[in-house]
Amino acid sequence: MICRCGNETIAWLCPTCVTKLEYLIARVDAVVAEVRAVIPRLTLTATYGDRAPGVRAQHAPAPVSVDAVSSLDALQRWMLGTALRLAEVTRKPLTGKTHEHLGSYLIANMPRLATLSWSPDLLGQLETLVKDCERITAEHDPKVFAGNCPECQEDLYAKKGDHEARCPTCSTTYEVLAWRQHATKAAKYYVGTATDLSRKLAAPEYGFNVTADQIRKWGTRLIQGQPKLVRQNPTHDIHGTPLAPTYRLDHVHELATNRKPLDGTAV
C-alpha cells in the first residue's frame, strides 16, 4: 500500500505521517492557549442589522475577536468529531471532551487510527486548522525569533519585550535564548519560507522590518533576466504538488540591508 505522501505502508498512514499527526495533536495545547489569550481583543468584523438590497453591510466593534473564537471552535469541533469517530471503531469511551482529553485519546489510539481508510485526510485537515489559529495569534501578537530549543531544536518565538519563550514541541519554557551568538553563522546556511525569514529578521539582533510579501516580490523580480532573490527549493514535490518558495537568510538579509529608504525609489 502507498501512503498519500508516497511512502510505502502497511496501513493507511505511514510511520512518517503518523509522527506528523502526533506532533500536530501535541501542538494543540499550546495553540489553544495562544488563541485564548487573544480572544478578548476587539474586532471590527461583526455585522448587525438587516440590509436592504444594494446597501453595504453595517459593522460594529465586537467585545471579542470573532476570528479567534471561530478558529478555536473549528479546532475543538475537529478534535471532538475525530475522537468520536474513532471511538465508534475502538469501542473505548472518551475520558473527557476538553482538547487535552481528546488529544490524549487520539494519540493513545493512534495505532488503530492509522489503519482506518479515512485517516489520511486528518493530517491535512489538522494542519489547516492549526495554521488558521497561528495566523490569528500572529496578527494580534506579532512574535520575533528567539533562538532554538536546546532539547528538540524547535524554533522559538516570543512576543516583543517578553523574557520567556515556550517550545511548541516539548512545551518547555525558557528564558529567551540569545540568537545573537548564532546569527552570523546561521545566516550562511539557514533556508526558510518568506514568512519564516520575515519573523527571524525581526529579531533584535537583526532589527529589520521586512514583510513576507516584500521577500516574495524580491523572489519574482528579475534583474537582467535573473531573479533578484534566488529560490532554494524546487517548485513542486515528487507528486507534483506546488511548494512554497524558500530563500537563504543571508541573501534576504543583504537585500534588506541595502534597500533604499522610502523616498520613492523602488527596492
**Residue 182: band (very low, low, confident or very high) from pLDDT cuts 50, 70, 90:** low
> Are the C-beta atoms of 107 and 21 separated by less than 8 Å?
no
pLDDT for the residue numbered 173: 72
CB under 8 Å to 208, separation ≥6 — which residues?
Answer: 201, 202, 253, 256, 257
Alpha-carbon distance values, 227 to 104, 209, 230, 264 (Å)? 47, 22, 6, 22
223's enclosing H/E stretch is strand 222-223
Q: Is pLDDT above 70 for 141? A: no
pLDDT for the residue numbered 223: 82
Of the CA atoms within 13 Å of residue 212, those in its CB half-sphere come to 12
pLDDT for the residue numbered 127: 93
Q: Is pLDDT above 60 for 260? A: no
Q: Which residues of 235-258 are buried (b: 16+ CB within 10 A; e: fewer)?
A: eeeeeeeeeebbbbbebbbebbee
Would the pTM of this model clear 0.85, i.e. be above it? no
Give pLDDT tens digits for 210-250. 888 889 889 888 887 888 899 988 888 887 888 888 998 88
Q: What percent of the chain has pLDDT over 70?
A: 76
pLDDT for the residue numbered 213: 86
Residues forming beta bridges with residue 46, ordered by sequence position:
60
Domain-by-domain residue ranges, the chain? 1-47+59-141, 178-267
Polymer length of the chain: 267
Burial of 261 from C-beta contacts in 10 A (0-12 / 13-18 / 19+): exposed
